[in-house]
Amino acid sequence: MRIRAIPQIYHNMNRWGEILSILSKYGLAGWLSRFEFGFTKSLFKNRKGQVLADESSETRIRLAIEELGPAFIKLGQIMSTRPDVVGGDLATELEKLQANVPADSFEEIEEIIKEDLGRPIEEIFDEFSTEPVASASIGQVHRARLKTGEEVAVKVQHFQIQKTVHVDLDILTGLALLAKRLPELKPYRPEATVAEFQRVMQRELDFSRERRHLEQFALAFADNDQVKIPEVYPEISTERVLVMEWLDGVPLTDIKRIESAGFDLRAIASVGAEMYLEMIFRHGFYHADPHPGNLLLLPGGTIGLLDFGMVARIDETLREDIEDMLLAIIEQDAQRLVSVVIRVGSVPTGLDETGLSLDLSDFVAQYAYQSVENFELGAALSEMFDIIRRYEILLPSSMTMLLKVLVMLEGTAQKLEPSFSLMEVIKPYQSKIVAQRLSPARQFRKMRRLAYEMQQLIEVVPRRLRDILQQVQSGSFDVHLDHRGLEPSVNRLVLGMLTSSLFIGSVLLITNQVWPFHGVSVPGTLGGALSAALGLRLLRAISKSGHLDRRP
């Protein structure tokens, strides 16, 4: 592929130059980190003055992403949920990404609200703070008071953020086309990763989706007095403006304030974990960003949940696969775990199934003798991701996101109570999972789905068979074969035949002294030299692709 064949190269040249400049700086810093010359290492620093060559490669990747801007930060945050693709160390480093974007001016925010709601701010709100309480990659949040007296949080998109994101998405598409040509980047599946990221960003740019998420979660937890979902105000919310109830509580990041208030940290961690398990195993949709800043401790020990931009859903089939995987880990059933991984994952050709089985058996045995209260599910899942990545198996993105959320959830709970074990909370769900799977309602849904699929099969197969028979009868039936990897073999075969023919012809010319010069055939000598060069070229190509007994 030639660079000029990528249309994105010609668009937004200024932004392309900025991105390539940043990537070059971090790439050169990585190259200098291999040497011991102190004066050269200090040449490249980030915006905060950190010497890049002194940092690990994972840290340099994170710092580069932070410098590239909001869209790239979001991409890094999404990739942190794919340790099976980027590896556990890089995924852990990418979890540290923070989108501390400078806030827009109050005038720009006021213009967006007036444009979307059709009224000036003073007609909608009795009070409106001109300074935002938070500013993230997509929008910023202001505290306000409605005319009716309710305290609300007003989330407003950054000025022209949609245009900025679309420019970066266009550039990321071009970078993905380039990255897939590099062997060292191919395992990261750049095109599929960027396509997944585009879907996520398009959803996050629409605040009406977040509004619907709030309404759905509020309905799901209406009877749970330990969980508080902010009330949303749909009549004054749009795609760029979201107005919701203001929750006045203590973030779970402020552990000292929580302790001084006399709360039981272990009980709070258990309530938060049970809330997430109820989302996953009962409702089939869950909040996908459980870091402590999105969880508030409200008066009475109630947990408030914030930021519903990232919400994931799991269908019944995927939920059963995840249940099987977790049950296999809980019950230390290595064969069941291998079966689930191979069934749900994208398995490479020539998978060493025996090696995978042995590694997963060792993995399960390592945790077999740990008590439930000492079992660290996060560490176990991280180790399992490393094994899966080693065998180049790719799990569905929805599954890896859920498993990564469980890892993050345990990490958040352990910040409150270091001895907390998520497995201790999951263990009682084992009987609930089995009961739900065997419930008549679930069995009826499965039978109905199976009956529908059988009906579709019965309708389609006879028609397809009739079409094939008609093609055979009319002589238009064709079989198309895809010869993967055959072209290099054919090219080498042809080159080998030409080389041998040239060598034999040159020997005949030398033997018969055709056009001699000092008794040596000139064309024969030139032909022999050329055949030797072609032969060496052929041997080099075979050596690079493997050996004579391997496929090219």
Q: Which residues are catalytic?
A: 289
Cβ burial of 136 (10 Å; 0-12, 13-18, 19+) is buried
Residue closest to 360 by CA, chosen among 337, 344, 389: 337
Residue recorded with tokens 């050329």: 530
Residue closest to 307 by CA, chosen among 177, 381, 207: 207
Cα torsion for 22, 102, 47, 161, to the nearest 10°?
Answer: 0
Residue recorded with tokens 């993905």: 176
Determine the distance from the C-alpha atom of residue 230 to the mean position of all C-alpha atoms in its chain, rounded to a whole number. Answer: 28
For residue 435, which amino acid is it? A
How far is Cα 175 from Cα 182, in angstroms, rounded to an integer?
11
How far is Cα 114 from Cα 154, in angstroms, rounded to an integer?
13
DSSP class of residue 143?
Answer: E
Radius of gyration, alpha carbons of the chain:
31
Q: What interhelical angle do 70-79 and 190-204 show, nearest 10?
A: 120
Burial letters 289-301, b for 16+ CB under 10 A, else e: bbbbbbbbbeeee
Reported for 344-351, long-range contacts at CB under 8 A and 24+ positions apart, including other chains, are: 344/318, 344/395, 344/396, 344/399, 345/388, 345/393, 345/394, 345/395, 345/396, 346/393, 346/394, 346/395, 347/393, 348/391, 348/392, 348/393, 351/391, 351/393
Residue 356 tokens read as: 């995978």
- In degrees, rounded to 5, the angle at the alpha carbon of residue 90 between the alpha carbons of residues 86 and 91 is 75
Complete DSSP assignment for 93-107: HHTT----PPPPPHH
DSSP class of residue 250?
Answer: E
Residue 14 tokens read as: 């200024």
DSSP class of residue 477?
Answer: -
Question: In what side-by-side order are the strands of the sheet with 295-297?
Answer: 227-228, 303-305, 295-297, 250-251
